[in-house]
Amino acid sequence: MYVRLRSAASLLRSVLLRLCGLVLTLLAVSAAIFLVIDVLPGDVASVMLGTSAREDTLAALREQLGLDRPAHLRYLAWIGGLLTGDLGQSVTYSSPVATLIAERLAVTAPLAAMSLALVVLIALPLGVAAAASQDGPVDRLIGLFGQIGVAVPNFWIGLLLILAFATGLGWLPAGGFPGWGAGIGAGLRSLVLPAVALALPQAAVLTRIVRTATLDVIGQDFVRTARAKGVPGTVALTRHVVPNALVPIVTILGLQLSFLVAGAVLVENVFNLPGLGRLAYQALAQRDLVVIRSVVLLLAGLVIAVNAAIDLLTLAVDPRLRRSR
């Protein structure tokens, strides 16, 4: 009883510590983003007013946008706004940044979810199958898939998919997004190819991890015992092996989220999807700093937070980690 209480207390302590660390990290990241963006050459006033604009016109717009205030005040205003949920107004889109992000998330979030699901659906069976037939022909074939998968850039997969399924067979749209207003089906159809392009390389990575993790667990005593007791191979795999291999797999999946998010910028460009990545890309081109900083912070923060959550999850699952970390 006493031991359990203490371990609960220590769990709480490490949770709190990590949360503090998370907040500090996010603050540091926000400062870094602000600094980098602030030194970018070019200003949004010139972009908006074009080449005929006179200097006094530019100055008027800068003043209107509050760009003439010192940097630290603008940073504080941003952070203050973040805490109250007001991300400011996009200059180029004439719309609240929060609304813009929400609209773009409606594309990027389903895209990331679809590709994450695809990653798991491809990698889990392949990885387990490879482990089950260790060094056999199936393992070799899956190994080859893994090798090729990690070597192929996702935007090229995107191009090939367009060649095959859009311009070739004409089954799926080559790009663009009809909007959810056009129906769930139409929306999902235009996300299929990008999701596959995003998922394949990551599935290849995860397949290898799943295989290794499965092999690790298979080698452990309790599985051998189960097998010795006459539990059939597949049952042993699904009942004992896979659940125990989940911790390393989930950890890698968390990391993969960062690759999916980063990859989304490229793939959204290939498929011309109005997602977060494209928003950041376009806002950067137009020096709409108010938009870029919040989008980049959101993307980075998402990855950091997910990794922290997975950290905590493994901590809860595996108490041994608490001391060693």
Partner 1 sequence: MLTRLSLAAALLLALPLSAQAAPKTTLAIGMGVEPTGLDPTIAAPVAIREVTWANLFEGLVKLDSSGRVGPLLAKTWEVSADGLVYTFRLQEGVKFHDGTPMTSADVKFSLDRARAPTSTNAQKQIFAPIDAVETPDASTAVVKLKQPSGNFLYFLSWGDAAIVCQKTAETNRATPVGTGPFRFKSWARGDRVELVRSPDYWGAKPALESVTFRFITDPQAQVAALKAGDIDAFPNIGAPELFADLKTDRRFTAVAGNTEGEIVAGMNNAKKPFDDVRVRRALMQAVDRKALVDGAYSGFGQPIGSHFSPNHPAFVDLTSVLPYDPAKAKALLKEAGYGSGLSITIKSPQMAYASRSAELLSAMLAEVGVELKIVPTEFPAKWIEEVFKAKDYDMTIVAHAEPLDIDIYGREGYYFNYRSEPFRALVAEAARTPDEAARFETYRKAQRLLAEDVPALFLFQLPKLGVWNAKLKGLWESTPIPSNDVTGVSWSE
Partner 2 sequence: MRPNLRLALGGAVALALLVVALVSLVWTPEMPFTRVRIPLRLRHPLAAGLLGTDHFGRDVLSLLMRGAFSSLSIAVPAVAIGACIGVAIGCTAAMLRGAFDTIVLRIADVVFAFPAVLSAIMLGAALGSGPAPATIAIAIFNVPVFVRVSRSAALQVLAMDYVAAARAVGRSAAAIGWSEVLPNIAGLLVVQATIQLGLAILAEAGLSYLGIGVRPPDPSWGRMLADSQTFLTQAPHLAIAPGVAIALSVLGLNLLGDGLRDALDPRLRR
286 binds, among partner 2, partner 1, none (CB under 5 to 8 A by kind): partner 1
Distance of CA 92 to the CA centre of its chain: 26
CB neighbours of residue 19 within 10 Å: 12
**Distance between CA 103 and CA 21 in Å, rounded?**
31
In the chain, % helix, strand, coil (3-state, to 5) comes to 80, 0, 20
Q: Which is nearer to partner 2, 27 or 182 (CB)?
A: 27
Strands 95-96 and 89-90 come out as antiparallel
Pick out residues in 91-150 that bind partner 1 (CB under 8 A).
91-95, 99-100, 103-104
CB neighbours of residue 35 within 10 Å: 11
Pick out residues in 148-167 that bind partner 1 (CB under 8 A).
162, 166-167
Contact 283, 90 (CB under 8 A): yes
Q: Which is nearer to partner 1, 24 or 285 (CB)?
A: 285
Nearest distance in Å: CB 291, partner 2 = 12
287 binding partner 1? (CB under 8 A): yes
What is the binding site for partner 2 (CB under 8 A)? Answer: 21, 25, 28-29, 36-37, 39-42, 140, 143-144, 147-148, 150-153, 155-156, 159-160, 162-163, 167, 212, 215, 255, 258, 261-263, 265-266, 269-270, 277, 280-281, 284, 292, 296, 299-300, 303-304, 307
The SS3 call for residue 89 is: strand
- Going from the C-alpha of 31 to that of each of 22, 97, 227, 290, 298, the distances in angstroms are 14, 19, 55, 14, 13
Q: Which is nearer to partner 1, 278 or 293 (CB)?
A: 278
Q: Which residues of the shown chain bind partner 1 in the complex (CB under 8 A)?
A: 40-43, 46-54, 56-57, 60-61, 64, 91-95, 99-100, 103-104, 162, 166-167, 173-179, 181, 271-272, 274, 278-279, 285-287
